Amino acid sequence: MAVDPKEFELEYFKKNGFIRQKCKVCGTHFWSQRISDVCGESPCVENTFIENTPTTLHLDLNGVRETFLNFFNKNGHTIIEPYPVVCRWRDDLLVTIASIVDFQPYVTNGELPPPANPLVVSQPCLRFEDIDNVGVTSGRHLTIFEMGGAHAFNYPEKEVYWKDKTVEYHHELITKVFGVKSEKISYKEHLWSGGGNAGPAVEAIVDGLEISTLVFMCYKMENGHWVPTIVRTVDTGYGLERWAWLSLGTPTAFHAIFGPLLPKFMEIMGVECENRVLIETGKLSGALNVENPNLSNQTREKVAKRLGFSVEEYMRRIEPFEKVCTVLDHTKALAFLLAEGVVPSNVKTGYLARMLLRRIYRILYEFKCENQLLELLGYQIDYWGKFFRNIEISRNEILKLAQIEVEKYKRTLEREMEILIKKLNNLRKEGKREVPREVIVEAYESHGIHPMQLKEQAMKLGLITNIPQDFFSSIIKMHTRKTAEIEEKDELETILLEKKIPSTEKLFYEDPKLLQFKAKVIHVHNNYIVLDRTAFYAESGGQLSDIGKITWKDREGVVKYVKKIGGIIVHEVEGATPPLNTEIIGYVDKERREQLSIHHTATHIINGAARKVLGEHVWQAGAQKDVKEARLDITHYTNITEEEIKRIEEIANEIVRKNIQVEIYTLPRLEAEKRYGYRLYQGGVVPGREIRVIKIGDHDVEACGGTHVLNTGEIGFIKVVKVEHIQDGVERIVFVAGKAALEKVQEAFGILKDVSRKMQIPPEKIVESVEKIIKENEEIRRKIKKYSKRLSEYALPYIKEKAEILSGIRLYYVVNNDLDESTHIEIGSTAIEEIQNLLYCALIPLNNVVQVVVFSGKQAQEKGISAKDVANFVAKILDGAAGGDKRFGRGGGKNIDKLNIIKDKLIEYLKDKRCE
RNA sequence: GGGCCGGUAGUUCAGCGGUAGAAUACCCGACUUGCACUCGGGAGGUCGCGGGUUCAAAUCCCGCCCGGUCCA
């Protein structure tokens, strides 16, 4: 989609003398009051604000945040609290990457009203796609940053403000509040798109630095075309870190963001760097980008020249500093992630936390201070905890999760390093001098050993390692395979949408005990029917669907499955299907519903209990409630112990015995979030503007659409059946409740009784007895093995006697299955040692096949008799095949009918052989 | 969620269609004898689980489980 230039012809620009111009370097159009042939953004120009701030107000990040919020507040925007950095309210994103994410999709698509309109928020955001640039670009790239979002949501019936006012606010803040001269600012034309939305945008540039992006979201993608949206959203992103950097004019943004933490981290890591090196780097840092190595290298040369250094000398000075910055950024991001209960693991946000921690650890290791990782994390908590209360509150949780993860990483490194050393030693033995690329890739991908760590080890062993410049990007390319995701819409879904069938009235919410109801059929499609109202619960939230029957007149249909399509509930009916507009009576299977409800409420109770026993990092990672049993997956960093399970069981059953009322009520989404926090979203995303809250005393509160019991006492009893380790960071608790629990216990006792009766041993002696049996079994197995060996010795005289003498060789030929193949091998191999002119030939008929074992003694071999050939000869008669060598051959075939002619043919064959 | 690597003796691994191996630790013996070393012998395995192909599977194919790791 190309943007119509008209989109940018703002009244505000015209009235204030902004002129549209084109940058001769990058070709972008921009608006500025000053005539210039360049757009003003680095790398088209240098960063001129360094050591030469254009502002009259000088603030660090915390100051900028306050000023920004107050400015918009004074201009009619309501300040709202930032959302979490882990965006659990959406299933299409792992982390909050922009302030607008807080309001997508329900606010931006008009389904929900915003918490205020207009509003302003300073939203901590995480972004990982530029992680390799963090530290090397003087702070232009960060994994964690605050996006100042001033948002206005414009509805057809209610216009708040649009482009002109947005630019005006921005311009006023930067000029009147921060005191930048108006002509210093240029606004670059840009098209923004993301998350299925798009719109024109302007990027605000001051003295080389892009400080804000003002987006006017007004299109959405529909059937491959951009169409206007109903709600037009002002989506501004003020880069607060950059505003702070600009206003202080410090050599890097890290100075402005981290203040006293920067010198502290430098001291701990033992890093020093002259200011002039940082200043000269900062001026040109707009051209530094690891994804563009050519430009970066040129820029490095340029900076080195200005400083009067060789490139090597310059890099030696700047690189350690850059690593300090990376650590500063990463430890902050890690603290924010862990504060929200993210358990480091190998999936999703857990992986992001792990990656950050490992990067930090590796850098600190380089500076020999890896043991101070937790200390550094502590400083971040001290510093940011003052402004973000949850960081301070979660201090212990953050440090504990980090500590456990460090220990895990150390263990992994130790183990994997040993494997690597072995491999490197092998390379050396093979006479190689350089580590091949495959080995570097394998070490990194399969064993988590960073190329730098590999290089260090290889050097010790005298091997050269050349890490390709594009190593990481090539790995990423290997992984990214674009798969066109085409969501196939159900045929039924399409029809329901087209016919505009209304949402079904959900009787199971109004009265969870209602199991019999009257309703009218409003749509029929094959054996699927839609009613105007229903008490049948449709499968969702891990709770299985209800079943039952419907009757009308004198007819009856069985409801075997119920599903939800949007707000419409569809019943799959077997047997007779009622015609349209029939009045029916529905009967919900009572036992199943009760059991599912019991399991569902029990799941919430177990979840709360697990959180109490294991810690605040416990989140539901998945759940399924079946009739027979239920399971709950939770995030946790280590295997749950027997003791912990016992405590969870105890707490859960205590809640049951207290017979607490299960409160169910709906709240406006924002109200619910405000009252109970994002912990509500245990079961994942809950769409819609109203949230159904399930509250069990002060034990647990969750947003949930399932059916529940009225009082916890109805559950009767909860028993954990087993605990499984699903994946790193996720544990599964399988449990039973209510009647299913009774059945499970009865079943367990039944098994015990059966075993006891069969073994004729009292239950309490079973374990002891089984141990004995296992031991005896092992002994027997050993004996058989020993005996078959002995058998080969004892068999010798027998074989000598039975073997037929055929001019010079002796043939021992046997057809039966008294002995198995391995025994024949044992006997045969011993026999030919003793009787060197022996040809040992055993045919073992088994079910439908015959196995052939042939041994040929030394003398027999000399006479040209090869065991392999004999085996092959025999096997061919049996329509099979054989292999081996001249001493030992084995094979077989399927044609059992030929079994009786083999001996004659074999003797003939041997005669022929000796004629040769 | 996807990709890759791995699962064989107590341990570390080799074997990669045709009798399951090495090293190390273990047990016994010899030489020594303070220990170590050396030598000889022994014991130790449902080759992760389940299917399939084959006369024959640790080995090839498919599915699953477990461990590790990278990416989203």
Q: Is the CB of A729 under 7 A from strand B?
A: no
Distance, CA of A792 to C1' of B20, in Å: 20
Q: Of all protein residues, which has its CA closest to the C1' atom of B71?
A: A479
CA distance A805 to A108: 97
pLDDT tens-digit series, residues A664-688: 998 987 788 888 887 888 876 666 6
**Cβ-proximal residues to A438 (8 Å cutoff; 6+ apart), any chain:** none
- The closest of A337, A378, A28 to A189, measured between CA atoms, is A28
Q: Is the CB of A130 under 7 A from strand B?
A: no
- The closest of A279, A276, A252, A247 to A263, measured between CA atoms, is A252
Structure tokens at A868: 């392999």
- The closest of A275, A251, A207, A166 to A55, measured between CA atoms, is A207
- Nucleotides of chain B in contact with protein CB (under 7 A) are 1-5, 12-13, 17-20, 43-45, 54-56, 66-72
**Cβ A513 vs Cβ A522: under 8 Å:** no
Looking at residue A476, its pLDDT comes to 56
CA distance A515 to A76: 52
**Cβ-proximal residues to A878 (8 Å cutoff; 6+ apart), any chain:** A850, A852, A892, A893, A894, A895, A896, A898, A899, A902
Rg (CA), chain A: 38
Confidence check: pLDDT of A467 > 90: no
Q: What ipTM is given for this predicted complex? A: 0.84
Confidence check: pLDDT of A758 > 80: no
Q: Is the CB of A826 under 7 A from strand B?
A: yes
Which phi-psi region, left, alpha or beta, contains residue A698 (left: φ > 0; alpha: ψ -120 to 50)? alpha
Backbone angles phi, psi at A904, to 5 degrees: -60, -45
> Which nucleotide is nearest, taking the CA of residue A885 and each C1'?
B18
Looking at residue A496, its pLDDT comes to 78
By mean pLDDT, which of A66-75, A381-390, A632-641 is the weakest? A632-641
> Which nucleotide is nearest, taking the CA of residue A849 and each C1'?
B55
Which phi-psi region, left, alpha or beta, contains residue A22 (left: φ > 0; alpha: ψ -120 to 50)? beta
pLDDT tens-digit series, residues A706-734: 889 999 999 999 998 877 777 778 888 88
Distance, CA of A821 to C1' of B54, in Å: 17
Q: Is the CB of A129 under 7 A from strand B?
A: yes
Looking at residue A500, its pLDDT comes to 81
Chain A 837-876 residues in 7 Å CB range of strand B: 849-852, 875
Distance, CA of A79 to C1' of B31, in Å: 89
Distance, CA of A169 to C1' of B59, in Å: 72
Distance, CA of A126 to C1' of B21, in Å: 53
Determine the average pLDDT of the residues in A375-381. 95
> Which nucleotide is nearest, taking the CA of residue A872 and each C1'?
B55
Distance, CA of A855 to C1' of B14, in Å: 28
Strands A119-126 and A78-79: parallel
pLDDT tens-digit series, residues A290-307: 878 888 889 999 999 999
- The closest of A229, A210, A247, A222 to A154, measured between CA atoms, is A229
Q: Which residue has the higher pLDDT, A137 or A419?
A: A137
Chain A 683-712 residues in 7 Å CB range of strand B: none
Identify the band that residue A916 occupies on the pLDDT scale cut at 50, 70 and 90. Answer: very low
By mean pLDDT, which of A153-157, A180-184, A880-884 is the weakest? A880-884
Q: Of all protein residues, which has its CA closest to the C1' atom of B69?
A: A446
Looking at residue A480, its pLDDT comes to 41
Q: Which residue has the higher pLDDT, A245 or A539?
A: A245
By mean pLDDT, which of A405-419, A573-587, A874-888 is the weakest? A405-419
* Alpha carbon distance, N-terminus to C-terminus of chain A: 86
Q: Is the CB of A92 under 7 A from strand B?
A: no
Q: Is the CB of A445 under 7 A from strand B?
A: yes
**Cβ A115 vs Cβ A130: under 8 Å:** no
Q: Which residue has the higher pLDDT, A633 or A324?
A: A324
> Which nucleotide is nearest, taking the CA of residue A889 and each C1'?
B18
3-state secondary structure A376-412: HHHHHHHHHHCCCHHHHHCHHHHHHHHHHHHHHHHHH
Looking at residue A189, its pLDDT comes to 94
Distance, CA of A832 to C1' of B59, in Å: 28
Q: Which residue has the higher pLDDT, A177 or A450?
A: A177
Looking at residue A914, its pLDDT comes to 66
Distance, CA of A696 to C1' of B70, in Å: 41
Chain A 331-360 residues in 7 Å CB range of strand B: 346-348, 351, 354-355, 358
Q: Which residue has the higher pLDDT, A842 or A462?
A: A842
3-state secondary structure A666-708: EEEHHHHHHHHCHHHHHHCCCCCCEEEEEEECCCEEEECCCCC
Identify the band that residue A220 occupies on the pLDDT scale cut at 50, 70 and 90. Answer: confident
Q: Of all protein residues, which has its CA closest to the C1' atom of B3?
A: A479
Distance, CA of A778 to C1' of B45, in Å: 12
Distance, CA of A677 to C1' of B29, in Å: 74
Q: Is the CB of A316 under 7 A from strand B?
A: no
Q: Which residue has the higher pLDDT, A155 or A109?
A: A155
> Which nucleotide is nearest, taking the CA of residue A829 and each C1'?
B19
Distance, CA of A481 to C1' of B3, in Å: 10
DSSP string, A261-313: HHHHHHHHHT----HHHHHHHHHHGGG--TT-HHHHHHHHHHHHHHHT--HHH
3-state secondary structure A65-108: HHHHHHHHHHCCCEECCCCCCECCCCCCCCECCCHHHHHCCCCC
Determine the average pLDDT of the residues in A167-180. 96
CA distance A545 to A564: 10
Looking at residue A318, its pLDDT comes to 94
pLDDT tens-digit series, residues A331-363: 999 999 998 888 888 777 888 888 899 889 989
Name the β-bridge partners of A203. A188, A213
Q: Is the CB of A479 under 7 A from strand B?
A: yes
By percentage, how much of chain A surpasses pLDDT 70? 93
By percentage, how much of chain A surpasses pLDDT 90? 41
Determine the average pLDDT of the residues in A548-573. 88
**Cβ A656 vs Cβ A715: under 8 Å:** yes
Distance, CA of A868 to C1' of B16, in Å: 22
> Which nucleotide is nearest, taking the CA of residue A850 and each C1'?
B55
> Which nucleotide is nearest, taking the CA of residue A483 and each C1'?
B2
Q: Is the CB of A724 under 7 A from strand B?
A: yes
Q: Is the CB of A732 under 7 A from strand B?
A: no
Q: What is the mean pLDDT of chain A?
A: 86
Looking at residue A484, its pLDDT comes to 32
Chain A 583-622 residues in 7 Å CB range of strand B: none
Looking at residue A487, its pLDDT comes to 37
Structure tokens at A44: 């088209």
Q: Is the CB of A419 under 7 A from strand B?
A: yes
> Which nucleotide is nearest, taking the CA of residue A883 and each C1'?
B18
Q: Is the CB of A404 under 7 A from strand B?
A: no
Distances (CA, A) of A213 to A192, A199, A864: 9, 12, 89
Looking at residue A330, its pLDDT comes to 94
Q: Of all protein residues, which has its CA closest to the C1' atom of B12?
A: A419
Determine the average pLDDT of the residues in A66-90. 90
**Cβ-proximal residues to A820 (8 Å cutoff; 6+ apart), any chain:** A844
Chain A 648-687 residues in 7 Å CB range of strand B: none
CA distance A449 to A443: 5
Q: Is the CB of A830 under 7 A from strand B?
A: no
Q: Of all protein residues, which has its CA closest to the C1' atom of B4?
A: A446
Report the half-sphere exposure of A792 (CA within 13 A, side-chain side).
22
Q: Is the CB of A783 under 7 A from strand B?
A: no
Is the whole-model pTM more than 0.80?
Answer: no
Structure tokens at A795: 């068999």
**Cβ A39 vs Cβ A28: under 8 Å:** yes
Q: Is the CB of A475 under 7 A from strand B?
A: yes
Q: Is the CB of A482 under 7 A from strand B?
A: no
Q: Is the CB of A892 under 7 A from strand B?
A: yes
> Which nucleotide is nearest, taking the CA of residue A345 and each C1'?
B69
Identify the band that residue A1 occupies on the pLDDT scale cut at 50, 70 and 90. Answer: low
Identify the band that residue A193 occupies on the pLDDT scale cut at 50, 70 and 90. Answer: confident
